[in-house]
Structure 1
Amino acid sequence: MSWPAEVAARYRAEGYWLDRTLDHWVAEPAYPGKTALVSGEHRISYRELAGHVAELASGLLAAGLRRGDRILVQLPNRWEFVAVLLACLRTGIAPVLALPAHRDNELAYLARHTGARMIVVPGTWRGFDHAAMATRIAGALEWPCRVAVCEDGPPDWLRAPAGPTERPDPDDVAFFLLSGGTTGTPKLIGRTHNDYDCHIRHTAPLAGIGPDTVYLAVLPAAHNFPLCPGILGTLAAGGTVVLAPSPEPAAAFALMAREHVTTTSVVPAVARRWVDAATASGPPAPALRLVQVGGSMLEPDLARALPVALGCRLQQVLGMAEGLICYTRLDDPEELVTGTQGRPVCPADEVRVVDDGDVDVPEGEIGELLTRGPYTTRGYFGAPEHNARAFTADGWYRTGDLVRRLPSGHLVVAGRRKDLINRAGEKVSAEEVEQLALDLLDLTAAAAVPLPDPAVGERVCLVVVPRGAAPALAEIRAAFLAHGVAHYKVPEQVEVLDALPLTAVGKVDKKLLRAGLVPS
């Protein structure tokens, strides 16, 4: 689904869409000799990055791909991820950004749903053979699909002498992000060049990103949060991106100190570990200026402790891959920085807070957040039935977040309407976990609920009603993993009941379930 013609014309007239592609800074970088990427032992200049991108763009076309084709890219935080992404942006080939944690279950669905013609993976990553998985999935498709394995760089056959390429239209889909939605399969969000360029231009300045920025990417690069302004915003500004394989404090702090990191983005579970480590050992790096925290609610006590422990400013972020981004501002008073999740970054962002009947609630009262704007999608890829529920007829996106709006425009998240489990920033669909449990185990009923967890924020608890003998947690986990389910979706606790409690309308009463599982 695209923006109505009159809305698109207004965004152009008002300067929100500039009709340029996201790679506009790559071909003639402003800082050719400066380090663009640090990835392990690799230090890649802007000139070298431009060369890699040009060769990969030609290589993709030489492999038979064309503008509008879709490929799966499942790469960890390494320089190849950035180079392949930028090569796709140049050619109009739309990459579907899969997470390294995805396994056969998720990747096979994405390949079929998008008609993927190539799968780009590492060889073996953290003990898992991604190349073998990609080969299995590609071989099961009814159309040709090549597998490109990036070991120490992309394969030679994916490179070709740089030459002219067909340029995409700025309204083309630049790449697909994955939604953390509540339905059993992830929804694909097609982000266009125009909308994401607007996204970058309105977030980067508010995070103080410029040529002197050294951004540490510790969250999976395929997520919207580290991509923007993070990786893409820093590169567009002429800064340096440091790609970290892990957010664990020891490794992250060492990189911060070595590379003089100024800026990074984390989820609350990572923030908590960093604060604990820094409290014990001292601030990680004197150059660190800003830590953005988003992905789930940040507790006020942690918000107050973070600047002290890490020796930097905190910026709270409320964002979604579908579009809307809210930031606290660098000059906001402390009570707004620690007690809110920010306000919209773009003047054209439209926000409503509504009740169950879609009627706007009075300021300060809790309601569901609805939004639309120049970088908020108008619909998911290939999901008309879901779009009818997730979007209003006049283009408002139903976020599922429950918020209240302050007179300043800042939003405070009060919960969520969506049935999600937020595990270390990864959004797990309860419906998907429940359906997998019913498919894989001998159960009468199943319900997945989030339970508080000090390490990851929320853990996945599966409540089951067995047909016969109750399955043990080890049996459940083994069945999920054998089916190729991403590890972060695998239940970490199991509870057995004779029946699931129901609401008056016959739905599973998850509020009552959680109340019985969480100690008072």
Structure 2
Amino acid sequence: MKVSPWPPDLVDHYRALGLWRGETFDDIIRTRAADPDIATRTAVVDAERRLTYRELDERVDRLAAGFAALGIGPDDRVLLQIPNRVAYVETVFALFRARAIPVFGLPAHREAELVGIARSAGAVAIVSPRTHEGFDHRGLAETVAAQVDSVRHLVDVDDLEALFADPIDHGRADPSDLAFLQLSGGSTGIPKLIPRTHDDYLYSVRRSNEVCGVTADTVYLATLPVAHNFPMSSPGILGALVAGGTVALTASPTPSVAWQIVAAERVTMTGLVPPLARLWTETAERGTDLDISSLQTVQVGGARCPDELARRIGPALGVTLQQVFGMAEGLVCYTRLDDPIDEICTTQGRPMSDDDQVRLVDDDGNPVDSGTGFLETQGPYTIRGYWQGAGEGSFAPDGWYRTGDVVEFDPSGNIIVRGRGGDRVNRGGEKVSAEQLEEQLLAHPAVRDAIVVAVADPYLGERTCAYVIPEDPDQPPTLAGIRGFVREAGLAEWKLPDTVTVIEEFPETGVGKVSRKKLRSLLAG
């Protein structure tokens, strides 16, 4: 199935450079299982199961045949809602082998999201557990199937062996065809579907491995929901499998659970979002009896890591911090492992590929030569359009992707994220960066986490509202205290928050990110 083609001149350019090599995802497991030096190594492990590359390949063969027996074949879209477990890897690669199209849902999705995703994708099947963390996923799948005419199969991921059949020849996918559909990380509504090809996505995985130092000795721990782009490919579980390394999966990212797997499997690399990185760092600073000394690299991405936290991560966990900034639509930036510590702690890295092209524009789309601007990009793994033409306005007339991020570049070419376009507060004509103000709030000793949003104001146009999670719920920070603290930090008076609201936790979007829209709605209400 052809989707969102790159211009022919760029296709020829990427192939001539060897960036697009004509590989498919099914090639990964087949070739590793056929390599005598890799076949008997652990490919994937969780708290209950372990598979070598050879065992994984055999099970993928039989499960792919089972999908085919159900009538699921080339170009059929299959919606997945599978937690972090070995069965996730088995299912995804069985669909690749059957030349079907995985659609990567998340365990946290509920009826509204799943119905929208299934309809948009035209999903013919849903693969999910019976229950997970006390939630009835089978009942949810039945509810979705009753509303989406295309869904004709519900597959129980807890009993995949019931589908196993004798292996058959499915043929080989065209590397330039659609490989899978991801979900956009947008802040509102039903996620848009992102079409990825074998060629473009496998290049991003290989290049991530080169930048991040992933080898056959890497043991990558997926702490975040593995259907997210970050733990899937930056370098993620796919990076580990491409390198012939090991994928470890944890059901919970909390130190009490995840660190047991780190100790048992001698995990060398993992990826965290900032709130989780803070939890890991604070836990390590208090001391632990679990041996996490095998950890070498901890990546932090998904949102901007506060500078003060970034400086604590390496010393607390005994690792090299690697900041990751990117998007499921394409561009990925990394700080390099040998960058100066100041760059690692204060920037979000630079594009990983020499063929990534980036530019900054203003509100009207005009080039910005210096300072902050809206980031636009194109490259060998950045999409040229959403599934079925969704996301009008997300692409410039020349096809460059409009990320919506407000950034600037330091002298070394590293990106410094200043926020999202919608996160800038226009307060009486003065622009307030939510990212900058959040950075100051997080330095306050009484603040554990903070999000800044804009709310309409009849006099100013917009006012600046800060939501904070306190370090001590019994001693929350006050508006006067917060404003005085930020003022002493040197911010202009118009950048101080107009209101401060204490909250226990932040509401999330359908893809697990903080929902600024919901926070704004709370204030409006």
Q: Tell which deviates more after alignment, 351-360 or 93-102.
A: 351-360
Percent identical pairs in the alignment equals 44
Query: Measured at CA, do residues 449 and 213 of structure 1 come closer, stay the same or move farther in structure 2, by a change above 3 Å?
Result: farther
Q: Residue 257 of structure 1 is aligned with which of 251, 260, 263? A: 263
Q: How far apart, in 2, do the equivalents of 1:286 and 1:183 lie? A: 40
Does residue 214 of the first structure (1) align with residue 219 of the second (2)? yes
Please identify runs of 4+ aligned residues in structure 1 that moved more than 4 A. 419-422, 447-450, 484-497
C-alpha separation between the residues in 2 aligned to 1:454 and 1:23?
48
Task: Indicate the residue corresponding to 1:443 in structure 2.
Answer: none
Residues 106 and 486, structure 1, Cα contact 8 Å, conserved in 2: no
SS at match of 1:382: helix
User: What is the deviation of 1:487?
Assistant: 11
Instruction: Indicate whether 1:346 and 2:349 are aligned.
Output: no
User: Residues 341 and 413 of structure 1 are in contact (CA less than 8 Å); yes or no, is this contact kept in structure 2?
Assistant: yes
What one-letter code is carried by the residue in structure 1 that aligns with 2:13? R
8 Å CA contact 2:187–2:513 kept in 1: the answer is no
Equivalence for 1:36 = 43
User: Which residue is 1:191 aligned to?
Assistant: 196
TM-score computed with the length of structure 1 as normaliser: 0.81
Query: Structure 2: how far apart are the matches of 1:188 and 1:494?
Result: 25
Structure 2 CA distance, aligned partners of 1:285 and 1:209? 19
Is 2:206–2:242's contact at 8 Å kept on the other side of the alignment? Answer: no
TM-score normalized by structure 2?
0.80
Change (3 A) 1:245 1:162: same
* Matched residue, 1:146: 153
Q: CA 1:78–1:490 in 2, change beyond 3 Å: closer, same or farther?
A: farther
- Asked if structure 2 preserves the Cα contact closer than 8 Å seen for 1:92 and 1:172, the reply is no
Alignment RMSD (CA, Å): 3.1
Task: Report how far residue 110 of structure 1 moved.
Answer: 1.0
After superposition, give the CA deviation of every residue in 1:417-461 in whole Å (9 maximum; x if it has no partner). Answer: 146999xxxxx9x99xxxxxxxxxxxxxxx998734469xxxxxx
Pick from 175, 181, 185 the counterpart of residue 170 of structure 1.
175
Q: What are the superposed Cα offsets for residues 172-201 of structure 1, whole Å, 9 maximum, x if unpaired? A: 111111001245221000111001111011
Q: Name the counterpart of 2:374.
A: 368
Distance in 1, Cα, partners of 2:372 & 2:395: 20
Q: Is 1:334 paired with 2:352?
A: no
- Aligned residue in 2 for 1:417: 421
Contact 1:91 1:168 in 2 (8 A): no
Seen in structure 2, the aligned counterparts of structure 1 residues 276 and 183 have a Cα distance that, compared at 3 Å, is closer
Structure 2 residue matching 1:55: 3-state secondary structure: helix
Structure 1 position 126 matched with structure 2 position 130: no
- How far apart are residue 333 of structure 1 and its match? 0.6
What amino acid sits opposite 1:150 in the alignment? V
What's the offset of the Cα at 1:310? 0.2
Select between 68-77 and 22-31 the one with higher mean Cα deviation. 22-31
Q: Could you say if the C-alpha distance between residues 358 and 19 of structure 1 is closer, same or farther in structure 2, counting changes exceeding 3 Å?
A: same
| Distance of 1:251 and 1:88 partners within structure 2 | 30
Q: Secondary structure at the match of 1:221?
A: coil
Deviations 1:366-424 (A, max 9, x none): 0011000000000110234x23x0001211100011000123211000111146999xx
Q: Secondary structure in 2 aligned to 1:167?
A: coil
Instruction: Say if 1:353 and 1:405, in contact at 8 Å, map to a contact too.
Output: no
Superimposed CA distance per residue, residues 274-297 of structure 1 (whole angstroms, 9 cap, x where no aligned partner) = 000000115851111000000111
2:402 match: 398
How does 1:40-189 map onto structure 2 within 5 Å?
40-151=47-158, 153-157=159-163, 159-189=164-194
The answer to whether the aligner puts 1:22 opposite 2:29 as a matched pair is no
Contact 1:22 1:196 in 2 (8 A): no
- 5+ residue gaps, structure 1: 423-427, 432-446, 456-476, 501-520
Q: Is the 1:278–1:284 contact (alpha carbons within 8 Å) kept by the matching residues of 2? A: no
For 2:189, the aligned partner's letter is G
**Structure 2 spans left out of the alignment, 5+ residues:** 425-433, 436-450, 455-462, 472-505
SS of residue paired to 1:23: helix
The equivalent of 2:501 in structure 1 is none
Q: Deviations over 1:246-291 (max 9, x none)?
A: 1111111111111111000000000000000000115851111000
Question: Residues 93 and 313 from structure 1, CA distance in 2 versus in 1: closer, same or farther, beyond 3 angstroms?
Answer: same
Match for residue 439 of structure 2?
none
1:225 maps to which residue?
230
Shift of 1:361: 1.6
Q: Kindly state the Cα deviation for residue 139 of structure 1 after the two structures are TM-superposed.
A: 2.6
SS of alignment partner, residue 25 of structure 2 = coil
* Partner-residue secondary structure (3-state), 1:451: strand
Matched residue of 1:165: which SS?
Answer: coil
Name the CA shift for 1:411/1:312 in 2 (closer, same or farther; >3 Å): same
| Aligned pairs for 1:228-239 within 5 A | 228=233, 229-239=235-245
How big is the shift at 1:360?
2.2
Cα pair distance change 1:248/1:412, threshold 3 Å: same
- Give secondary structure in 2 for the equivalent of 1:18: coil
- Per-residue deviation, 1:25: 2.4
Taking the aligned partners of 2:99 and 2:465, their CA distance within structure 1 comes to 40
Give the deviation of 1:166 after TM superposition.
2.4
1:7 and 1:232 map into 2 onto residues whose CA distance is 25
Q: Which amino acid aligns with 1:125?
A: H
- Residue 451 of structure 1 aligns with which residue? 467
Q: Is the 8 A contact 2:47 2:261 kept in 1?
A: no
